[in-house]
C-alpha cells in the first residue's frame, strides 16, 4: 500500500467513485496480512518509504511464492532477493512477467504502470573485481526497483589504480556511490577520498583463506581512513541500495 | 582551503586586489603541507567536501598541536577528535578560542566567521542509554562543525519502547538519523523501521562480557532486519556525522 | 521410567498384583540401560523431570532407532530432534504411530495414554521471520511433548514493530515466552520490555554474512537491554522448550 | 511507580483523600522522566514487573546519582549495579540509608516499608569457586531486592564433585537455581542434571589464558548437555536474578 | 625400522648370517625414503617410539597407498587415519589383510607377527555420548596398534552423572584415561577429579550452533578446573592415543 | 589429608596410640572444610593424588590466606599459584617459612618433614625464550612440590636450532618433557619429534600483535605435527606440572 | 603489453616498418581493455613487473575464458589460478596449447617464444607434508611463469627434523625460499633460522579441528621467532611466487 | 661473531699474530653462550646473516642488560627492540654510547667501526598516518643497523591519494618498500600496484573499535589485491626490516 495508492483510494471514496464498503475491503489487509507462516507488512511503504522485499534464503519456494502473491495482490509487484535456482524457477512460473536476474539472484515483478524515477541523482555501483558482480547486480536491481537511475563501473580495484582514476567523471556525476569489494576492501577508502557524496561500502565474500568469507573486507571498510564511508553486511547489495535510495530521496 | 576561500582568492587576483605573488604564497601549502611527521591535506574540502579532522589517538600532544596549527593557519579552524585529557589541555592552551567538549573528547576551533549552515535538514542523534552519550557528543559536535542543524534524543533504548514511541514527531522531522547504541544494538533496527530517511547506526563499546567492546552491537546492526540501515565503526561518532553531512548536502 | 510409572509399579507390588520378580524384571533396565553404543538414562524423568530426548545429529539411523526402541520399551514413547531425512524415514518405518514434523525435524512417539497437560500456563513461541519457523517448530513440539499448552505468533520482527504491538493480548496471556530470531535478534529485547514473565531467547542461524550462523543474534540476545532475558544455544528450540517447561511447572 | 503505588494513589483519589491536582502532580513524571542525560522509565514495574535498575558502568558518578535520585523520589528506593569505588562512595554519601555491597559492587536503597517477599520459592545461588563470589553477590542482592528468598552454596566446583553431591538437599529445595562458574563452566551441566527446576547459568570471567574473559564458560554453558539450562551474559548476576525472579513469580 | 628390527639385522650381520651387502640394501631406505610426493620417515620408531601413521586427509588415494606400501615394506604394517570411503576402499583392495574400521575411519595392517603388548596398564577410552564414538574408535584402534591394552566406557556424559559414578571401578583400574566429549566438554573435568592417573581430554566436533565445531569443548577442557587434564586437537583420537601410549610406556 | 596421613592416623588408632575421639576430631574437616567463601577439599590427595593448590587470581589476600591456613592446618603445607605482589606479601607475613618465588608467582609452604621424591624419572622443563621463564618457574616449582626431580633447559627456541640439538643428552634423560613457548610455539613440535616420552606443551602469552596473548602458540601446539604432544591452557605451568606428575607416578 | 613489446612497437614505428595507424590500433587496448564484466589491466607488466594473472574463483568459466582471451591477444599468454575442473576444461578446449596442472589448479598458456629466465637465483619451494603439495604446485608454476628457476623439497616437516637437516645443501643454494606448511606451521621458523636469504611462509589449509582452515599455521608464521620471515594469505602459493619473483629480480 | 670477525681471527692465527690459546678463548662462547636465563646465539650472523636482536618485552631490565652485554662483548654492539622506558633507561646508563630512539622504542649500540652499508638499494619506509610512526621508526632503525640505506615517506594514506601519487619518484627509486599502516591497511595494496619491487606490509595497531588492535589491517594486507605483497606481524617493524635486509642483499 503505497502512499499514492492510499491517497487515490481515499480520493475515490470522497468523490463517490468507490463505495466505502469496497474501500474497506481494499484496506482489509492493511497494515498487516497474516499468512500461516508470515505477517506481510503492507504498511512498509508508509513507514520506511519502500515496499517490503522478500529475502528468499531460509524460506521454501512455496512460502516465497505465497508472500510474493500477497505483495503482488496489494501493490502490483514485488522484489525477491537471494533467490536460488529453485525459487527463481518457482517464481518465474507463477509470475511470467517477472524479471529473473540469475547473476544477482533477484526476481522482480514491476508494478504496472511501473513506479516513476523519484530519486534525484544517479546511484553509481562500483566493483573492485569481476567476482563482486553478483552483489553489484543485486544492488543495481534494487536501486532501480526503488525508483532510482543507476550507473555502473566494473573491475576498478586498486591493484591497478589507473583503472579507477581514468573514470573520475563517472565518480563526480554520482549522487550516491556504492562500492562492492572483497578481499582487502581498499577500493572503498580510495573512492571515499575522491568524492564528496555519500559512499556505501559493501564487503563481498570474494576471496579465500584469511578473507574469511568477507570479514577482511568488512573490517577494512569499517576502519576506512576516508571519513564518511558507511558499511553494510557482507554481500548485502540489497541493503546498500535501500540505503542509497533513502539518501537519494532526501 | 575551502572552495569559497579558493574562489575568493582567485577573484581578488582577477580584480587586482591581490598581487599574484601574494596569491602564490597563499597557495604554497596547497594541496599538501609537509610537516616532519604529517602531510596535512589541504585539498580535502575540495575532494571530500569537508576539512580534514585530526584523530588525536596515537599522536603526541605536540604532533596534534602542530597539525592543528597548520589547519588553523590555512582554514581558520580545525576539529580534533578522540582527544584525551593531555591533548585537550595542550590545545586549550594553544588555541584559547577553541571549544573543548570533555565528554565527547573533541576540541573545535571554529573558523571566523563561522561556516554557514549548509545542510538542508536536521540531523537527529539518538542514544539508547546514558552510556552512549560520549559517542553521541562526538557525532553532534562533528555534524555542527560540518554545517548542519543537529537535534538530540537520549536514553530511548528498546527495553522501554514507549520512551521511543512517544517521540515519533522528533523522528519524523529528521533528515538523517544517527543511532548510537551498545549491547544489543536493537534500537537501530526499531528506528530503521519507523522512518523513511537514512539511518546510520553507530555501535558503542558500552556493555561488558559478551558485548566484546561493541562487537555485539556492531554485528546486530550489520544484520539489522530493517532495510537501509548503514553502519560505522564502533564508537565512531565522527564518521557517522561525516557521512550524515554528506547525505544532508545532497 | 516416569515417577507415575514407578509409583504404579510399586503400588501393584504392594497390592500383590505384580510379583516381585516381575517388578524386578521391569526395573532391570533402571536407571541405566547399556546398549553397545549408548547408556540410555531411564532415570531422567526423576532427576530432571523430563524423559531423555534423542539428539539425532551425529548418530547413524540405526543407532537412533535403537535408542528410541529402548526408550519406547521403557516409557511408551520418545522424542527425537534434529532428525534428518534418513533418520525421519527410518523412524517412521520402525514406529508407524510416530508423528514426523519435517519442518521442525522432530519425530515424536506419544506415550499411550498420552501425558496430561501439567504446565500451569501457556508457552508462547514467537518468531521474528519466516526463516525462524523450523526452530520454533522444534520448540513448540517439545513444549507440547513435555505437557504444556502452546501458542504461536509468527513473523513479528521489529522492522515493522506495529506487527508486534497489535498482538499485545497474546503477549500478556503467556506464562513463558520463547523468542526465536536470527540476524539482529532485536525482537528478544523488545519482547523482554513488554512482558513480566520469563523470556527465553533462541538465536537462529537465519541470515548471511556477518550473521555468522547465528552469532550476531546470540551476542545481541546475551546483551539484551531488557533485564531477565535468558538465552539458549543457536537453533536450540528443544532446549528453550525444556527450560520453559521447567519454569511452567514451578 | 509500582502497581501497588498506582492503585493506592487512585484509591485515594476515589476516596477523596487526595485532590486530583495532587494526583496529577504525583503522576507527572509517569511513565518517563526526562533528565538531561537519561529518560528514567517509571513504567517498568508495570511493563516488566521490576523497577529499573541502574547499570553504573559507563556513567559518571553524577549521572548515577541523578538517576538514582529520580528513582528514589518516585519509588522510594533503587538498585545500582556494577558500581565502582567512586560511584559507591558518591551514593553512600547521597543516600546514607543505602546498603553498599563492595564485593558485589551493588548499592541498594530499600523502599520504606520494604517490599514483601512475593517469590514463591527459594532462589539458590551456587558458585564453582571463590573467584565467582562477586557475581554471585550481585545475583543474591538482586534476587532479594526483587522480593525473593535467597539461599547460597559456595565453592562446589566439579573438580571435587563430592562437595556438590553432599549438598543434594539444598539442591532439591530450590525453586530456581543460579549457577555462577568460570573456566570450564562444567558445574552448570552437572547441576542441570540433578534438579528438575530451572537452572540459570552465569558464566564468569574467572580464569586466564584460554578462558578468554568468560568465553570458555559461556560456550560450555550454551552447549550444556543437560537440557533446560539457560544462560546469561558473562558476569551478569543481575540479569540472572531478574530472570529467576520472573520465574519465581509464575 | 623398529629398534627390534634394527638390532636383529645387526645381530645377523655379526653372526655372519646376513652379508653386509644385504644389510646395506635393507638399510638403504633408512632413515628416510623419498617418494615423489613424500619423504617417509623410517626413523620414527627410534626417535618417537612409534611408527609414522598416515594422515589420509588431504592426500589422494594413490598417494596414501604409496606411502602405506613404503611403510609396509619397511616394517610389515601401517596405520592410516581419517581415511574416507575412497581411501578405505583403495587400501582394502591393495592390502587385503588390513582391518578397516569405518566408524573410526582407520585402516590398520598389523605387522606379522604382531607387536607385543608393551604398555604397562590399561588405557581407558570414555565417551560422553554416542556422537563421540568415531573419535573414540580412532583412539582405541591407535592405542591397540601401539601395543596397549584398551578398555571402553560409553555414553556417560554428566547430564546423568549416575551413569559415570556407577562405573568407578573401571575408572580406578585405568593407567591412563582418554575422555572424548563435545559440546560442554564437562566430562573431562569430572573425570579429572575422580582419578589420580593422567587424563587426556579430546574435544569432539559433536554439537551445533555455539559448539563451533568443537571449540566450546576445546575451551572448556583447556580451562578444566581439575588439575592435570591435558588436551589434544579437536577430534584427534589418534594423537590422544599416541600420547597415552607414550605415558603408558614410562 | 594425604593417604599416608590417613593411614598413619588409622594405624595409631588401631595401636591404641590415639583415642578414637582424637582421631574423629582430626578427621572432622574431612573431606570438605567449609569456610565462608570456600569449601576446602581435603580429599583431593585421595581422589587426584595431589593436594589442592590455591589459584590466587580472583581472590582477595584475606581469602587466600584463609584457604592456605586451612590447608596448612590439615596437611602441614600448601602451594599458592598466580600470586600477585599483594598476595605474596600477605602470605610471606602469615607463613614466614613459606618460599616465595616472585618470578613464578608461587608461594610454597613445604610440609615438615617434606614429602619424599615419589616421581620415578626426571621432569624436564624447557623454554623457547627468556620471556617464557615465569611459566617455566611455575611448572618447576609445582613439579618439585608434587615430589618430582626437575631439570631445566632455557632459551632453546627453534630460530637457532643448534641451541636445542646440542642438548640431546638432556632431552633423552627426561621421563616427561614440559615445553613452554609463546609466539609460534614451534619448539613443542620439534621436541615432540626428538623424544619418545610424553611431551606437554604449555603455550605462553609471550609475544605481541597476532600472538593474541598466547593463542598463536596454543593453536600451533594443538596442531603439532609430532604425534603425542598434549597441551594445557595458556601460561598454565601449574597444570602442566600436575599432569607431568601424574604421568611420572605411573 | 610487456616493456619489451612496447619498445619493439615503438622501434618499428621509428624505423618506418609499422605505420602509425597500425601502432595506434595495437595500442588501442592499452592500458585498460573494457570487457562487459572486467577491465583487463594491460599496463600491469609496466607497473608491477608481471602480467595480470586470472584468479578464477568466483568467476564463471565464460568470464574466465573472456579475460584469458583478452590477455592472450595482448601478450600471447596468460596464467589462470584456482581453476576448478569446469574452468580447467573450458580453458583446455579454448586454448589447446595451454598447460593444465590439476593438482595446482593452474592453467598456463606460455607466450611464444616463451619468456626468458630473468630471475637471478633459484626459488626453492618446500612443503612440510604431502597435503601441502597443491599450494606448492601453484607457487612453483607461478614462479616459473614469471621467469625464475625453481627447485623443490617435499615432506620435510619438523616432526622428523632429520629429513630437513640432511637437505642443507639445497637450502643454502636457494636465492629465495617459499615454505608451504599447515597445522603448526613450524617449518617456516626452523627454515628461517637456517638460511640467510628471504623466507616466504605460506600457511596452508591442511589439518582439521583447531587448524581452523589454516589459521593456526597463519598465526604461527606471523609470530615466527626467526626474524625476517614474511607471510602470505592462506593457500596463496601464487602470491608467494609473485613476491619471490619480485625479490629475485632485485 | 660475524663472518668477518671469524675470518680475521683465523687469519691472525694463521699469521702467528694470535696464539691458538687466545683464539680458543675468543671462540669459547661460540656458537652459544649460556646465561642463567638465556642462551645467546652468537652463530646467528652465520646462519641468518644478522646478529640476534633483543626483544625486550617480557624480560626484566636486568635480563636485557645481561643479554646486551654478552652481545656487545662478542660483536661490539647490539640492537634492542620494544624497550619500554625502564629498559631504555637501564641500557642508556649501562651503554652510554648507545642510541636510544624513544619513539621507535629501540636502543642501538653500533659496532666500532660501524658496519658498512652492504644493502644494494634503498629501503623505503612509508606510513599511512602519523600514528604509524613508531612502527616505522623501528623498521628504519633496524634497516640501518643491518647495513642498508633508508628513505622515508610519511602520512600518505589513501584517504587523500594525491599525497601518494605526487611521490612517484620516491616510490620508483626504492629497492624494497615497507608500508606501515593501520585501520584499513589500504595503502599496502595501492603501493603494491604502483611498484615492481618487493612490498612488505606491516599492519599497525593504530585505530580503535573494529580495528581490533591491528587485525583489520592485518587481514586486509593478507588479502591484498596487488600480487606480491607479503606481510609481517602487527607492529613488527623489526621483522619487516630484517626481511627487507635479506632481500636487499640478494
CB-nearest partner of H186 from A158, A182, A209? A158
Q: How far is E145 from chain F (nearest CA, A)?
A: 14
CB-nearest partner of H243 from G193, G198, G240? G198
Farthest-apart Cα atoms in chain D, separation: 66
Residue E2 per-residue DSSP state: -
What residues in C contact B129, CB-CB < 8 Å? 225
> With an 8 Å Cβ cutoff, are A233 and C159 in contact?
no
pLDDT in tens, D112-137: 777 788 888 999 999 999 999 999 99
The SS3 of residue C169 is: helix
- What is the mean predicted confidence (pLDDT) over E196-209? 97
Average pLDDT, chain D: 90
> With an 8 Å Cβ cutoff, are E31 and G162 in contact?
yes
A105: left (phi over 0), alpha (psi -120 to 50) or beta: left
pLDDT in tens, F136-174: 999 999 999 999 999 999 999 998 888 898 888 899 899
Rounded Cα gap, residues A138 and A82, in angstroms: 8
Please tell me which residue, B44 or H54, carries the higher pLDDT value.
Answer: H54
Residue H25: which pLDDT band, with cuts at 50, 70 and 90? low
Kindly report the length of chain C. Answer: 250
Rounded Cα gap, residues C245 and F230, in angstroms: 42
* D202 has a pLDDT exceeding 90: yes
> With an 8 Å Cβ cutoff, are D221 and E128 in contact?
no
With an 8 Å CB cutoff and a minimum of 3 pairs, decide whether chains G and D touch: no
- What is the mean predicted confidence (pLDDT) over H174-192? 97
Cell numbers for C73 = 520399551
* D180 has a pLDDT exceeding 80: yes
Residue B37: which pLDDT band, with cuts at 50, 70 and 90? confident
With an 8 Å CB cutoff and a minimum of 3 pairs, decide whether chains C and G touch: no
B203 to chain C: closest CA residue: C220
CB-nearest partner of H234 from F129, F166, F209? F209
Q: How far is B129 from chain C (nearest CA, A)?
A: 9
Q: Which residues of C touch chain E, with CB atoms under 8 Å apart?
A: 31-32, 36-39, 41, 43-44, 47-48, 52, 55, 57-59, 63, 67, 82, 203, 205, 213-215, 218, 233-236
> With an 8 Å Cβ cutoff, are F166 and H32 in contact?
yes
Rounded Cα gap, residues F28 and E242, in angstroms: 43
In contact, F207 and F235? CB cutoff 8 Å: no
CB-nearest partner of A130 from G32, G63, G214? G63
> With an 8 Å Cβ cutoff, are C227 and D53 in contact?
yes
* H21 has a pLDDT exceeding 90: no
The helix (H) or strand (E) run that includes residue C119 is none
pLDDT in tens, B111-151: 877 778 888 899 999 999 999 999 999 999 999 999 999 99
Beta bridge partners of F124: F151, F177
Rounded Cα gap, residues E7 and E5, in angstroms: 5
Q: Give one DSSP letter per residue of C77-96, joined into a string.
A: -EEEES--HHHHHHHHHH-T
Residues 6+ apart with CB under 8 A from B5: B75
In contact, F160 and H47? CB cutoff 8 Å: yes
CB-nearest partner of E57 from G155, G163, G208? G208
Please tell me which residue, A18 or G64, carries the higher pLDDT value.
Answer: G64
Low-confidence ranges of chain G (pLDDT < 70): 1-6, 9-10, 23-31, 46
pLDDT in tens, A155-165: 999 988 888 98
Q: How far is A161 from chain C (nearest CA, A)?
A: 28
- What is the mean predicted confidence (pLDDT) over E148-176? 92
Q: How far is A103 from chain H (nearest CA, A)?
A: 23
Q: Predicted ipTM?
A: 0.91
Rounded Cα gap, residues B195 and B179, in angstroms: 12
* Among candidate residues G214, G188, E44, G207, the one with its CA nearest the CA of residue F186: G188
CB-nearest partner of C183 from B207, B215, B223? B223
pLDDT of the residue at E22 = 72
In contact, C240 and D228? CB cutoff 8 Å: no
pLDDT of the residue at F116 = 81
Quote the distance between the C-alpha of residue A119 and its chain's center: 13
Percent of chain B residues topping a pLDDT of 90? 67
Rounded Cα gap, residues D132 and B198, in angstroms: 45
Please tell me which residue, D195 or C3, carries the higher pLDDT value.
Answer: D195
pLDDT of the residue at H146 = 93
> With an 8 Å Cβ cutoff, are F207 and G223 in contact?
yes
- What is the mean predicted confidence (pLDDT) over A39-51? 77
> With an 8 Å Cβ cutoff, are C154 and A37 in contact?
yes
The SS3 of residue G149 is: strand
Residue H40: which pLDDT band, with cuts at 50, 70 and 90? confident
pLDDT in tens, E42-62: 777 767 777 779 999 999 999
In contact, F166 and H32? CB cutoff 8 Å: yes
> With an 8 Å Cβ cutoff, are C232 and D223 in contact?
no
Rounded Cα gap, residues B107 and B129, in angstroms: 24
CB-nearest partner of H230 from G194, G226, G230? G230
Residue B3: which pLDDT band, with cuts at 50, 70 and 90? low
Residue that is written with C-alpha cell 518405518 in the block = C93
Sheet strands side by side (includes F229-231): E149-153, E122-127, E176-181, E199-203, E229-231, F229-231, F199-203, F176-181, F122-127, F149-153
* C1 has a pLDDT exceeding 60: no
Residue G48 per-residue DSSP state: T
Residue D40: which pLDDT band, with cuts at 50, 70 and 90? confident
Q: Give one DSSP letter per residue of chain F, joined into a string.
A: --HHHHHHHHHHHHTTSS-HHHHHHHTTT-SEEE-SS-EEETTHHHHHSSPPPEE-TTS-HHHHHHHHHHHHHHHS-EEEES--HHHHHHHHHH-TTPEEETTTTEEEE--SSPPP---SSEEEEEESSGGGHHHHHHHHHHHHHTT-EEEEE-S--GGGTHHHHTTHHHHHT-SEEEEEE-TT-HHHHHHHTT-SS-EEEEE-----GGGGGGHHHHHHHHT-SSTTEEE--TT-HHHHHHHHHHHHT-
Residue H52: which pLDDT band, with cuts at 50, 70 and 90? confident
Give, in degrees to the nearest 5, the angle at Cα B140 between B138 and B145. Answer: 95
Rounded Cα gap, residues B100 and H179, in angstroms: 35
pLDDT in tens, D45-80: 767 777 789 999 999 999 999 999 999 988 889 999
Torsion angles phi and psi, residue D88, rounded to 5: -55, -45
Q: How far is A109 from chain H (nearest CA, A)?
A: 37
CA distances from G60 to F210, G85, G95 (A): 36, 12, 17
Radius of gyration of chain A (CA): 20
Residue that is written with C-alpha cell 514407578 in the block = C6
> With an 8 Å Cβ cutoff, are B220 and C160 in contact?
no
* A28 has a pLDDT exceeding 70: no
Cis peptide upstream of residue F31 (ω within 30 degrees of 0): yes
pLDDT of the residue at D204 = 98
Average pLDDT, chain E: 90
Residue H162: which pLDDT band, with cuts at 50, 70 and 90? confident
G32 to chain A: closest CA residue: A163
Residues 6+ apart with CB under 8 A from E17: none
Q: How far is G164 from chain E (nearest CA, A)?
A: 10
> With an 8 Å Cβ cutoff, are C47 and E160 in contact?
yes
pLDDT of the residue at B50 = 78
Residue B28: which pLDDT band, with cuts at 50, 70 and 90? low
pLDDT in tens, C117-166: 888 899 999 999 999 999 999 999 999 999 999 999 999 999 888 889 88
Percent of chain B residues topping a pLDDT of 70? 92
Task: Tell me which of H58, H68, H221, H239 to substitute to probe the interface with F (most F C-beta atoms closer than 10 Å).
Answer: H58
CB-nearest partner of C189 from B158, B194, B211? B158
* H44 has a pLDDT exceeding 80: no
Rounded Cα gap, residues G245 and G195, in angstroms: 18
Cell numbers for C204 = 537462529
Residues 6+ apart with CB under 8 A from D184: D158, D216, D217, D220, E184, E185, E186, E188, E189, E220, E221, E223, E224, E225
- What is the mean predicted confidence (pLDDT) over H133-162? 95
What residues in G contact F211, CB-CB < 8 Å? 219, 223
Average pLDDT, chain B: 90
pLDDT of the residue at E67 = 94
Rounded Cα gap, residues A40 and A54, in angstroms: 10
Q: Which residues of G touch chain A, with CB atoms under 8 Å apart?
A: 31-32, 36-39, 41, 43-44, 47-48, 52, 55, 57-59, 63, 67, 82, 203, 205, 213-215, 218, 233-236
Rounded Cα gap, residues A34 and A32, in angstroms: 6
**First-to-last CA distance in chain D?**
21
Task: Tell me which of C29, C33, C36, C37 to substitute to probe the interface with E (most E C-beta atoms closer than 10 Å).
Answer: C37
Cell numbers for A186 = 581498499
Q: Which chains border C (3 or more CB–CB pairs < 8 Å)? A: A, B, D, E
> With an 8 Å Cβ cutoff, are A223 and H184 in contact?
yes
Residue that is written with C-alpha cell 594525491 in the block = H162
* H23 has a pLDDT exceeding 60: yes
H202 to chain F: closest CA residue: F209
> With an 8 Å Cβ cutoff, are B158 and C225 in contact?
yes
Residue D1: which pLDDT band, with cuts at 50, 70 and 90? low
Task: Tell me which of B132, B152, B155 to substitute to probe the interface with D (most D C-beta atoms closer than 10 Å).
Answer: B155
Say what angle helices G3-14 and G20-27 make with each other, to 10 degrees. 160
Q: How far is G32 from chain A (nearest CA, A)?
A: 7
Q: How far is F45 from chain G (nearest CA, A)?
A: 34
Dihedral sign for Cα atoms in the order G238, G241, G246, G247 = positive
What residues in F contact H43, CB-CB < 8 Å? 160, 162
Residue A33: which pLDDT band, with cuts at 50, 70 and 90? confident
Rounded Cα gap, residues D3 and D26, in angstroms: 14
Q: How far is D153 from chain F (nearest CA, A)?
A: 9
Mean pLDDT per 10-residue interval, chain F, length 250 residues? 67 78 67 81 76 91 95 89 97 96 96 80 96 97 95 93 88 96 96 95 97 97 94 98 94
In contact, D170 and D124? CB cutoff 8 Å: yes
With an 8 Å CB cutoff and a minimum of 3 pairs, decide whether chains E and F touch: yes
In contact, H188 and H201? CB cutoff 8 Å: yes
* H49 has a pLDDT exceeding 90: no
What residues in C contact B183, CB-CB < 8 Å? 220, 223-225
In contact, E27 and F174? CB cutoff 8 Å: no
Amino acid at each position: 500500500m503505497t502512499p499514492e495508492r492510499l491517497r487515490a483510494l481515499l480520493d475515490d471514496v470522497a468523490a463517490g467513485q468507490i463505495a466505502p464498503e469496497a474501500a474497506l475491503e481494499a484496506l482489509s489487509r492493511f497494515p498487516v496480512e497474516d499468512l500461516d507462516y508470515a505477517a506481510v507488512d503492507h504498511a512498509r511503504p508508509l513507514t520506511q518509504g519502500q515496499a517490503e522485499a522478500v529475502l528468499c534464503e531460509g524460506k521454501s519456494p512455496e512460502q516465497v511464492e505465497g508472500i510474493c502473491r500477497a505483495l503482488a495482490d496489494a501493490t502490483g509487484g514485488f522484489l525477491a532477493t537471494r533467490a536460488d535456482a529453485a525459487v527463481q524457477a518457482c517464481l518465474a512460473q507463477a509470475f511470467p512477467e517477472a524479471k529473473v536476474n540469475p547473476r544477482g539472484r533477484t526476481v522482480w515483478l514491476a508494478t504496472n504502470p511501473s513506479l516513476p524515477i523519484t530519486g534525484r541523482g544517479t546511484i553509481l555501483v562500483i566493483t573492485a573485481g569481476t567476482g563482486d558482480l553478483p552483489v553489484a547486480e543485486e544492488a543495481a536491481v534494487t536501486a532501480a526497483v526503488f525508483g532510482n537511475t543507476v550507473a555502473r563501473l566494473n573491475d576498478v580495484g586498486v591493484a591497478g589504480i589507473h583503472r579507477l582514476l581514468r573514470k573520475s567523471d563517472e565518480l563526480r556525476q554520482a549522487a550516491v556511490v556504492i562500492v562492492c569489494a572483497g578481499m582487502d576492501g581498499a577500493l572503498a577508502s580510495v573512492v571515499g577520498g575522491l568524492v564528496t557524496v555519500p559512499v556505501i561500502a559493501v564487503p563481498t565474500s570474494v576471496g579465500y583463506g584469511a578473507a574469511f568469507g568477507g570479514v577482511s573486507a568488512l573490517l577494512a571498510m569499517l576502519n576506512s581512513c576516508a571519513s564518511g564511508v558507511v558499511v553494510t553486511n557482507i554481500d548485502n547489495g540489497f541493503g546498500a541500495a535501500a540505503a542509497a535510495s533513502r539518501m537519494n530521496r532526501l
